Amino acid sequence: MNLFVLLKTVPDTVEELTVAADNKSLDAEWLRFKLSDADEHALEQALLLKEKHGGKVTVVAMDAPELDESLFMAFAKGADRVVKLAGELAAVQSLSAARLFAGFLEGEGQPLPNDALVLVRSQAIDDLEGEIGPYLADLLGLPYVGVVTGIVPEGGGVTVTKEFAGGLRGEFSCPMPAVLGIQSAEKPPRYVPIAKVRAAMKSSTLETVDVSTDAPARFPIDRLYKPESAGRAEMIDGSPEEVADRLVDLLANQSLI
Amino acid sequence: MANGILILAEHLKGEVADITFEMLGAGRTLADALKVPLHVAVIGQGAGAVAPKLGLADAVFVVETPGSELPPASTVAVLLKGLVEQKQEGLVLIGWTNLAMGVGSVLSARADLPLVNFCRGIRVEGGGLVVTSQLFGGKILSDVALADGRGIVSVSAGAFPADAGRSDKAATVETVALPVEAPAVAFKRFIEPEAGDVDITRQDILVAVGRGIQTQDNVGMAEELATALGGAVCGSRPVVDQGWLTLSRQVGKSGMTVKPRLYLALGISGAPEHVEGMQGAQTIVAVNTDANAPIFDVAKYGICQDVLELLPVLTEKIKARKG
């Protein structure tokens, strides 16, 4: 199989997020970036498919701060080829990003081969103007299924499992090539020790492809701000002992225990 | 803004999902304020059967898709585009749900309309609209103006009350025939949720674990607390993805919606996808090391501590109290 995985980094929300002075963006000074959870799962799913059915995993990402370490980690985990799309990309949103990825995937006007699957995150925490998968599929004229948690090759295509709500899932048959939005891989993303990532940094090469876009942002953000803490919890402070005593009292008073 | 508001109804197995009524209530308020008509599109097999339930709208458009049960997002988007053009709609509301995910993106590209995701609120301002969205796992909000009121808004579940969207009035239903190509993606079958050992939707007390629980062994500590409380353990997506809990114990967007009397959220940050499934709990107690975690915005009581330190102490004290 020809497996393509599109990756992007997002701000790590474990860190404190601060709004910049313009009130329209995050203060970059304090941001740490990491792959989004769904990206880790998309990569894992591609590696699982390769291990089971053979093939090649190509990782593609738009250049961004702190991206390279994630890309070398992809190498360390088993990606065969890693490509970075570089250029003036700061203001690129999902639709224009999809155009850049579509341009790369179609190469010199060549359609994707019949055994190709493009795996993307189902959604990311900063996809304010839409998810990339459906845009990309539409541009490439390929089928798309999102919120996917399972992929099994069958006939000339794949059978995919999609999650709905309440634990209900559905099975769909989808021809290849296709774009699939991954929610969770069939196994938890594998761990690679940092030594293996360092080794990949020495032995592997990231390819860089220059791209350009003149697409303007589809809408400007007027204001970015922190949620007001109006309905905020009553905080219980103290040592674990004190906190536990207080909580047990509170629960008992409300007949919860 | 002279054009109408169109809501994409969400229905599965003959049931209208709550998100549809949530959008209907919000859409009614907007439509009345802007003096424009409120419309609903019901697309897919069985659309005609659920349409009469949507009486709060001024008109309900039914587009059946014979031979295609559960049409893919791209097909729904093409049909919606047809309706937007034919009925001259200005604003389209779509649920930010697993079922409808992707519809807004394709419609945005095809109809050249801006799409705003993760909506938690919409207000009329000037002649246009301002959409408030929740970004970065609920830690940051954004305001985006749709100056002429035209666009697609993807609405998060639970952002508006569902009751405001229900009506006893019979809907004015119009069947609309629109051409559409047979989709390449075909629905095969439903996979029903595995009957878990415990039905977490029926529990009075739930101990929920998130990423902060760190290891599978520590989930055992949470089980012990749940047993002491007479409840059950459930969890957020990352814990289920790790295989530490079964899918039947997942709370949130893809998992269960629970409304217990007590919900103890341990090491859960409170991302919107999780909050969607538990915000109806009577009393929420949250324990998290991050004082800024969004979970503290929905909790009644908050404890800023390492769950692994608090858990054994709390379990012992509850055992002691219960005797």
Of chain A, the percentage scoring pLDDT greater than 90 comes to 77
pTM: 0.93
Q: Provide the CATH number for the domain around residue A157.
A: 3.40.50.620
Residue A156, pLDDT > 60, answer yes
- For residue B258, what are the contacts with CB-CB under 8 A and spacing of at least 6? B200, B201, B203, B206, B234, B251, B277, B278, B280, B281
Direct distance between the N- and C-terminal alpha carbons of chain B, in angstroms, rounded to an integer: 65
Q: What mean pLDDT is predicted for residues A8-13? A: 91
Q: Do the domains spanning B4-175 and B200-322 agree at the CATH topology level?
A: yes
Q: Quickly state the pLDDT bin for B79 (edges 50, 70, 90).
A: very high
Chain A interface mutation, best of B98, B112, B199, B201, highest count of A Cβ atoms under 10 Å: B98
**pLDDT tens-digit readout, A97-141:** 999 999 999 987 788 999 999 999 999 999 999 999 999 999 999
3-state secondary structure of A79: coil
User: Residue A119's beta-bridge partner residues?
Assistant: A5, A180
Whole-number pLDDT of residue A187: 95
Partners of B185 on chain A (C-beta within 8 Å) are 143-145, 172-174
Note the CATH architecture for domain B200-322.
Answer: 3-Layer(aba) Sandwich (3.40)
Q: Quickly state the pLDDT bin for B126 (edges 50, 70, 90).
A: confident
**pLDDT tens-digit readout, B149-197:** 999 999 999 999 999 999 999 899 999 999 888 899 999 999 998 777 7
Q: Where are chain B's structural domains?
A: 4-175, 200-322
CATH of domain B4-175: 3.40.50.620
Partners of A254 on chain B (C-beta within 8 Å) are 283
Q: What CA–CA distance (Å, rounded) separates B130 from B125?
A: 6
Residue A90, pLDDT > 90, answer no
Whole-number pLDDT of residue A229: 65
In a domain, A58, yes or no: yes
Burial pattern B113-136, b for ≥16 Cβ within 10 A else e, equals: bbbbbbbbbbeeeeeebbbbbbbb
The angle subtended at Cα B235 by Cα B229 and Cα B236, nearest 5°, is 150
| Range(s) of the domain holding residue A117 | 2-210
In a domain, A226, yes or no: no
Q: What is the ipTM of this complex?
A: 0.93
3-state secondary structure of A98: helix
Whole-number pLDDT of residue A217: 67
Residue B1, pLDDT > 60, answer no
Residue B216 contacts A, CB cutoff 8 Å: no
**pLDDT tens-digit readout, B233-290:** 999 999 999 999 998 999 999 899 999 999 999 999 999 999 999 999 999 999 999 9
Q: What CA–CA distance (Å, rounded) separates A121 from A244?
A: 40
Residue B135 contacts A, CB cutoff 8 Å: yes
Residue A241 contacts B, CB cutoff 8 Å: yes
Nearest CA in chain B to A228: B297
Tell me if A141 sits within 8 A of A153, measured CB to CB.
Answer: no
In a domain, A234, yes or no: no
Of A147, A143, A116, the C-alpha closest to A131 is A147
Burial pattern A182-218, b for ≥16 Cβ within 10 A else e, equals: bbbbeeebeebeeeebeebbeebebeeeebebeeeeb
Nearest CA in chain A to B270: A13
In a domain, A154, yes or no: yes
Q: How many domains does chain A have?
A: 1
H-run or E-run covering A37? helix A37-53
Q: What mean pLDDT is predicted for residues B221-227? A: 97
Q: What CA–CA distance (Å, rounded) separates B122 from B152?
A: 12
Q: Phi/psi at B258 (nearest 5 deg)?
A: -120, 150
Whole-number pLDDT of residue B180: 86
Residue A216, pLDDT > 70, answer no
In a domain, A57, yes or no: yes
